[in-house]
Structure 1
Amino acid sequence: MSGDGPAARSLPWYPRLDGLRGIAVLLVFVEHFTYNEFIRNFSPGMIGVKTFFVLSGFLITSILLSERGTAPAASLARRFYWRRALRLLPAFWLAVALAAAIGIANMRSDAWLHLLYLSNVQIAIGEFWSGAGHFWTLSVEEHFYLFWFPIVILAPRRWLLPAVLAALVSAPLFRAAIPLGASPFIDVLLPGQLDSLAAGALLAFTVREPALAWLDRLLLRPAVVWGSLLLMLSVTWAPVVGLLHNEFIRWVLVPMLISAAGACLVRSCVAGKDPALAWLANPRLVHIGRISYGLYVFHYLVPQALYLVLPPVPEGALGMVFKIARLLLWIAVTFALAELSWRLIERPALRLKNRATPRPASPGTGVAG
């Protein structure tokens, strides 16, 4: 998950985007903390992750487009990757270190894989979910940064939009190999998630390119915004009506629809004009979005750590009470860790963003950092 927050971007702050990010991480919580097959059939975590990727594609592409041409590529690369490292590495390294120290998630043997952002490669090759399997999304993000920066910064301007469209098309084609017999685990690789990231990248172009003004106006129509919400709700009901029994619909069509719906919502949040979505700017929800990176990084490890100290689930009715109390404890500990991480590690690290790599600028092209 990308952790772009107000202190980390060279863009205006969009409170509703933080609220949407908060909703996305809570959807991941619902799937990972319930251990309920009925709820998992609705794939709330997939919707949350796809939304994160759309957000990341929009924010990263917007930053790169803003900085394109303002300095030599090497200088821009140092600045971009320095800021990404400051935003993403501190909490991630802390999570890996704590898991290794406690002895959970096979971290003592697998730490090097995660630190090299090969979590998704491990999953795809081994065809299993590890105890830190949620790190696959961080690997996808990192691979996207390595892949997307040189394209946006170095490619001729006329090639950029075709590159976005190619990414949009290539991911469904890649996932189409799954219904044809390929392992479903290839979905966690960057080519399998590129349409979500590219959908966000396309948004970054729609707000800048006059030729795409028609698409921007379309995305902002209330009917389209509310239609995207209904589309997401409809997709969650796909398992109930048996649609996901069709492998093509499950692996190719449904992810495309979620990405498209997520893009509509992100564009509406950036505009910030739809009164029906004003609740996304609620301060509590915005704060959840602000600490969502820490929430995501720690949440899958917390239950594994607490299993080491909690007693077994009692028999009978008391067992249900115990499970509810345990769930509340997982949530409380995760939020506490994320809050401490944000206040003591992540936010202080972000204050270093301009010290080693001052923002390159050319006359008349500066953007507030």
Structure 2
Amino acid sequence: MKIKIFFILLLACALLFAGCKVETDAPDSPASPVPSAAPTDFVLYRADSFRIGSQAYEKCSFNEDISKKYAALIGKAADALAGETQVYCLVIPTAYGVLLPDDMKELIPDYSDMETNISSIYAALPESVEPVPVWDKLREHSGEFIYFRTDPHWTARGAYLGYEAFCEAKGIAPIPLDAHCAVNFDGFLGTLYFENGCDEKLLPEETIEAFYPVSDGVTLTVTDADDNTTDCPIVADVSELHALAKYRTFSGGNNPFSVVTNPNIKDDSVLILVKESFGNPLPAFLCDHYSTIYIIDYRSWYGNIIDFAREVHADDLLFANNINAVNSGGNVGFIAMKIK
């Protein structure tokens, strides 16, 4: 009888503690990371994307020939601009490499290790190019809101770590994140949500957090595909935009060519940022260090990067592209057309 009473009391205690909620300090970021999921939470959407719990992922496939061509193109630009412009290479990891639980990797068809892939690209760069390693930083902060759940992109907090890594490579002090004023935009749903049947397991909607430059008076002028020029805020109010369009808060979205000017920096310093959409959150941080930043989206801009760097007397040239982009023959082909 005593044993029976003991087990009843033990069960009651277990049920009591199971219902308790442990209070912790609220995170600084607007959303909490997704915990590791059980294998039964794995859903393969299609060949290049899948879901674990409420986190969607886009696969990364490594193509050694294409990635070596990318490294060679950056090296070509650096050699041509030697003594004039310092060239940097930031290969941006995705959530697939940084957040994917180790015990899930065996479930991924043709899994390719992203850290190894990125390291091989950096190893292929000539000494004239300064690599910007960000992998370790992202892994150290993997429990924070550094990637979206419904979209392949990193968040502004993830991009800040990329900015921090660039500052370290350049030998300058990064401005602390908490020195920036932040703004949040609710209701974001990314391409991994809409392209995979609007899977309700990816809900609720996410919050996009953006950070303003520390400097006052920073301006952004964008030139669109029709060669129309418009002045835009570097952090735009996207409250009324469609859920998928809210990523445009960063640097006016994807445009062939943009110019960021900081009137507080008087040394005529110039940075050229060559990027795809992963680079869009970076200028809000980088602009506190340069008089002018020229932003080139190589997918839609037509010109010669080497000639342009000489024309504007660029101090620095930063290639900031995600790992999938630099393994894409199409994207690397676009870059090849701009480095001659």
Question: Same fold per TM (> 0.5)?
Answer: no
**TM-score in terms of structure 2 length:** 0.30
Give the structure with the larger helix fraction: 1
**TM-score in terms of structure 1 length:** 0.29
Give the structure with the larger strand fraction: 2
